[in-house]
A and B are shown apart, each in its own frame.
Chain A
Amino acid sequence: MGGFYIDWSGELVAFFAFAVVMIVGAVLMLTLTKVVHMVASLAAVFLGLGGMFVVLEAEFVAFTQVLLYAGAVTILLIFGIMMTDHQAVQREPVRPAHEIVSAVASIVLFGILFYAIRTTEFAPSAPPLQAGVDNAMEIGKQLYTQHVIPFELVSVLLTVAFIGAIVIAKKEAE
């Protein structure tokens, strides 16, 4: 065992295709200068992530991801940009010290994550959740039995946020 033996299956090809989409999208997001282009490449990252969930057989999460992030959040960002920012191109001032520190920080973060992922062993004892057949149903069962209190708390939180948004908008209107 050990080393990187790669068995080329369709799943792996799909994984790499979506990974390339996500990484290219993320890099473009950071390097492009027009804000709308950035949002478009961010949408590509969201779509790639949705595809990744499909590869993992989590269809419900995948399409919820596409619906909420690639759909709603991206549109919201585009609206926000169009309504507030009149200067479409943003130029960052060059700060070499800042860039070096962030490069070191991200390499360290990558190292920690890589080490953690390589050394983790999943305990095979717990019975695996049979989510492959109808995972929307399984997620629903989990949400309404085991995780019902966090679920309700999140819905209260969202309602509060919703009412807060209305209050702020009302205040602005007056």
Chain B
Amino acid sequence: MTKWLEQPLSWENALFFTAMAVVFLLIVLLYVVYAILFERKVLGWMQWRHGPNRLGPWGMFQTVADVLKLLFKEDTIPRKADRALFIIAPALCYAPSFAVLAVIPYTRELYFADLNVAVVYYAALSAISTIAIVLGGWASNNKYSLLGGMRSGAQMISYEVPLVLSIVGTVMMTGSMNLRKIVEAQGDWFWQWNFLPQIIGFGVFLVAAVSELNRSPFDLPEAESELVAGYHTEYSGFRFAFFMLAEYVYMFAIAGLASVLFLGGWRPPAPFLDFIPGIVWMILKMAFVIFFLFWLRATMPRVRIDQLMGFAWKVLLPLAILNVFVTAVGLELFIKG
């Protein structure tokens, strides 16, 4: 991609970039279909049941059928809903989730944008999805949706602070916010990757990431036992599918970000393993992070909303700030001094 990105933008290049984006979108959609299947299977196994197994061998076509069902479902808009915002919200929620994937480097050669503020870009775009969720909840004109939307807004804004601060340590160690440089700066062996010196940052990042994704145990915005389905209660058909799609694409993005920032990106865990191409390592690491999210969901009970907000401000934020200070002192004493 380097060759293409450094050329001036001509019509052929623009066409090539569009084609790449479409191919990548198809890959991401395929990933979403099978991530949902895999999630249901993993949840099934961990809870001592089978999970989907009726459609196709090993339940392979269950989610394909589910997607088709969602696409053909009747699209309902409540009469008292705010039509314009109700229609805009799902698209506004999904678009940033795909746009953040552009800055994640998948291998040394395969990346879609070489941006020097990639970390800020990620945080900024994911904030737009939050607005979409709040607006969608408000536009539905339903108390459960509104509560879900408000919870989501409060939660995502609160957890964005420790999420970004937990990345700061990594950025300080590299001296750049460019995700490619962050991967390049990590060592050849797996104990030289950022997750060991930045173990506090990595912990805070993982917890805050689960919360940013609105996933169990932090899935308060759509807590079905108290809010029916939260902010997407009134949505059906493909608009509902868009909200779900955004959630799973963000999961892909967070997995990519965690792999790049803390787990060495495309690097193999030991130098003699580098005959295996980088994309395989990247996919393995991302799959591991995604599996970790499923694992959490299968194990942990949901927390209460006041516990959740208190945890962000009283535990994660001080830890993240402490991590920044410790990293600064460590860099000054041992690396530069």
Interface residues of A (CB under 8 A from B): 10, 34, 36-37, 40, 43, 47, 50, 59-60, 63-64, 66-67, 70-72, 74-75, 78-79, 82, 133-137
Interface of B is mostly: helix
Size band of the B side of the interface?
Answer: 20 to 34
Question: Nearest residue in A to B139 (C-beta to C-beta)?
Answer: A36
A40 to B178, CA, bound (A): 31
Interface residues of B (CB under 8 A from A): 9, 82, 84-85, 88, 115-117, 120-121, 123-125, 127-128, 130-131, 134-135, 138, 146, 150, 153-154, 157, 160, 176-178
A168 to B58, CA, bound (A): 59
- Judge whether B131 and A78 touch: CB under 8 Å: yes
Q: Closest CB-CB distance, B144 to chain A, in whole Å? A: 15
Query: When A59-B116, A134-B116, A135-B116 are in contact, do A78 and B138 touch as well, CB less than 8 Å?
Result: yes
Q: Closest CB-CB distance, A108 to chain B, in whole Å? A: 35
Query: When A40-B85, A75-B157, A82-B138 are in contact, do A70 and B120 touch as well, CB less than 8 Å?
Result: no
A69 to B60, CA, bound (A): 44
- Judge whether B127 and A66 touch: CB under 8 Å: yes
Query: When A43-B131, A67-B127, A74-B131 are in contact, do A134 and B176 touch as well, CB less than 8 Å?
Result: yes
Q: Closest CB-CB distance, A62 to chain B, in whole Å? A: 8
A67 to B131, CA, bound (A): 11
Query: When A63-B124, A66-B124 are in contact, do A78 and B135 touch as well, CB less than 8 Å?
Result: yes
A117 to B119, CA, bound (A): 35
- Judge whether A63 and B117 touch: CB under 8 Å: yes
Query: When A40-B85, A66-B125 are in contact, do A71 and B131 touch as well, CB less than 8 Å?
Result: yes
Partner of A136 from B84, B117, B135 at Cβ < 8 Å? B117
